[in-house]
Every structure is written in structure tokens, then in C-alpha cells.
Structure 1
Amino acid sequence: MSEPVAPFSAPWEAQVFAMVVALQDSGLFTGAEWADALGAAIRPADGPEALADYGRWLAALETILAARGIADGPALDARRDAFLRAAEATPHGLPIVLENDPLFRQ
């Protein structure tokens, strides 16, 4: 018997999946709107079709959040940069938290 395949290769993928499900369940967007946004992330007008990986899920979710006025591009970029700084500052094996960002301010 073969080992089961993990549906997510990293915790952030599960988090993106959970956010999409929760936000759709809360009514922020419909299944059709999600399909359109994910389709646009997978098949950009200016390039070849890409894999429907969780990076594309995240891009589609960011597009919806920006379109709804929940989080604009600069806010999303700032959070992404903060996460990357936190990841750099986090010792190997420990969870990455934004408080580890050297520029973190409450």
C-alpha cells in the first residue's frame, strides 16, 4: 500500500485554501467569482497558462481583496515584505510570526 499524498506541501498553502473557503462561505465572493479570478491567475492574458498551484490561489485571492477594497496592492505588498523579513529573522524550525520582522510595530 502506498503512502497517502499530502494535499499541501507547506502550511501557507493550507492557510490560503482555508482563507478562500472561509471568505467564500462568508459571502465575500461566489464560487463563480472565485473560478473567474483563479482562471485569470492561471491564464494571464500576456503569457502562457500556468499550473493551478497555491501561489496562483494566493494571487487570485489578492485580486479579489483589492477589487473589494479590503486590501490594496501596497498593503498586500507591505504584508508580504514583512512576512519575508520575519522568515529571514526566524530561527530554523520555529514558526514564522510577523513579530519576528525586525521592522514590526504594533
Structure 2
Amino acid sequence: MTLHDALKATPRLPLDEDDGPVFEAPWQARVFAMTLQAHEAGMFEWTEWAETLGAELAGDGDGSGQTPGYYDHWLSAFEKILHAKGVAGAGQLGELRQAWDEAAKATPHGAPIELKR
């Protein structure tokens, strides 16, 4: 399966007129690229990824009015597959997400976000 075929088979992936992925924010492109790199490194098959993402998207529209965006689902699915494959523990990913959120909120607009170690 080529990358183009894999992307076309990805559940509900927003594509432009040239079948390229569409992003609304830089973080979306980054998590997309990390997912592709993890797949290309052999961490998971694309069919596994599509199933994981599809399951995540299936929970969309719970009536709460707080429906996550497509790439929020993508990020959650990426975290789940990394955890399932033993690449990172759920606690590690949660702590990293929290640290990133705090650093982003504390960073002045236009300045690079830096995580404290």
C-alpha cells in the first residue's frame, strides 16, 4: 500500500482538492507527521492505525456539545496505539500532554514553547 493509498483509506481524513491532508494548526501537522514516522519505523501497520482512529472517531457526537475536533481524535488514537504497542505508558503521555499545555499557556504569543525537564 502506498502512502497515498493509506491516506485515502484513513477514516474521515480531511483532504484538499489534490488529496493532501488539511491542517488548521501547526500541532495537527506535527502529530500527523509523527504518526507517519511511527508507522514507517514499523511500530504499527496502517490498518491497525485506521482501526484505532476509526474506533476513536466512533465516539464522536456524544451529545455533550463538546465534540473534539478531528485531530484531537487523531492525537488520542496516536497515544492509544503507542501505549498498546508498549512504546510509551499512558501516564507518560498524560504527563507530557499536561506539561505541554502548561508551557503553552505560560508562553507569550510568538515565543517558542519550552518544556522544563
TM-score, structure 2 length as denominator? 0.71
Structure 1 residue 14 corresponds to structure 2 residue 29 = yes
Alignment match of 1:88 (pick from 105, 108, 114): 105
Deviation at 1:51, TM superposition (A): 7.4
Deviation at 1:82, TM superposition (A): 0.5
Q: 1:15 to 1:55 in 2, by over 3 A?
A: same
Structure 1 segments, 4+ long, off by >3 Å, are none
Partner of 2:72: 55
Identical aligned residues as a percent: 45
- Name structure 1 gaps, 5 residues minimum: 1-5, 99-103
Deviation at 1:70, TM superposition (A): 1.3
- Name structure 2 gaps, 5 residues minimum: 1-20
Partner of 1:101: none
Higher relative contact order (CA 8 A, sep 6+): 2
Letter in 1 for 2:45: T
Letter in 2 for 1:14: A
Q: Of the two, which has the highest radius of gyration?
A: 1
Letter in 2 for 1:84: D
Measured against aligned partners, the alpha-carbon deviations of 1:38-63 in whole angstroms (never above 9, x if no partner) come to 0011013xx47x77711111111100
Alignment match of 2:84 (pick from 46, 67, 72): 67
Q: Distance in 2 between matches of 1:9 and 1:52?
A: 10
Aligned-CA RMSD value = 2.2
How many pairs align? 93
Q: Which moved more, 1:70-79 or 1:6-15?
A: 6-15
